[in-house]
């Protein structure tokens, strides 16, 4: 029994490795330089200096998760604690003058309203990212939706 499980796992890893190699070969053959490092400012290569606090940036499209206008260095978000909710939680947002967490964050995947933040919305940094005025790592031609991004 263990032998079959081991064979399946090895097959899966071999397939994933093959896909990664094929993807890199395809990108390289189509002129994509995989060794490009971003041009960023900061103290160490590859790190962007995050401002402690700044104005909120405009959204670029409907339902875009707002970006975080402050540093999150040292913030702890684990299954037992969420530093973001100390300021943005339902009981604390008024005292800290912070935006309140959206009511949608209290709904489970079936639309049922919960008494606390839904597990799928608990890890804030999976959708909300710190904003930085940094050069894009990969160039793109994205333009904000009409009426957005101003």
- Distance, in Å, from the CA atom of 4 to the CA atom of 123, rounded to the nearest integer, reads 36
Query: Binding site residues, as ranges?
Result: 70, 84, 87-88, 105, 124, 127-128
Is 96:89 a contact under the CB 8 Å cutoff? no
- Distance, in Å, from the CA atom of 35 to the CA atom of 27, rounded to the nearest integer, reads 11
Write the DSSP symbol of residue 9: H
- C-beta pairs of 68-77 under 8 Å, 24+ apart in sequence: 68/128, 68/129, 68/130, 68/131, 69/131, 70/130, 71/130, 72/125, 72/130, 75/125, 77/122, 77/123, 77/124, 77/125
Name the CA dihedral angle for 116, 121, 123, 128, rounded to a multiple of 10 degrees: -130
Query: Binding site residues for heme c, as ranges?
Result: 70, 84, 87-88, 105, 124, 127-128
Question: Residue 15 is encoded by which pair of tokens?
Answer: 């397939």
């Amino acid at each position: 029994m263990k032998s079959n499980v081991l064979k399946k796992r090895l097959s899966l890893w071999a397939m994933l490795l093959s896909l990664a190699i094929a993807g890199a070969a395809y990108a390289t053959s189509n002129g994509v330089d995989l060794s490009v490092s971003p041009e960023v400012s900061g103290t160490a290569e590859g790190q962007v200096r995050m401002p402690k606090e700044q104005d909120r940036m405009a959204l670029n499209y409907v339902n875009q998760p707002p970006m975080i206008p402050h540093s999150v260095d040292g913030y702890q978000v684990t299954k037992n604690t969420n530093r973001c909710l100390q300021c943005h939680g339902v009981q604390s947002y008024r005292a800290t003058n912070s935006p309140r967490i959206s009511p949608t964050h209290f709904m489970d995947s079936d639309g049922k309203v919960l008494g606390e933040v839904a597990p799928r919305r608990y890890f804030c940094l999976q959708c909300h990212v710190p904003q930085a005025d940094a050069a894009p790592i990969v160039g793109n031609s994205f333009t904000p939706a009409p009426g957005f991004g101003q």
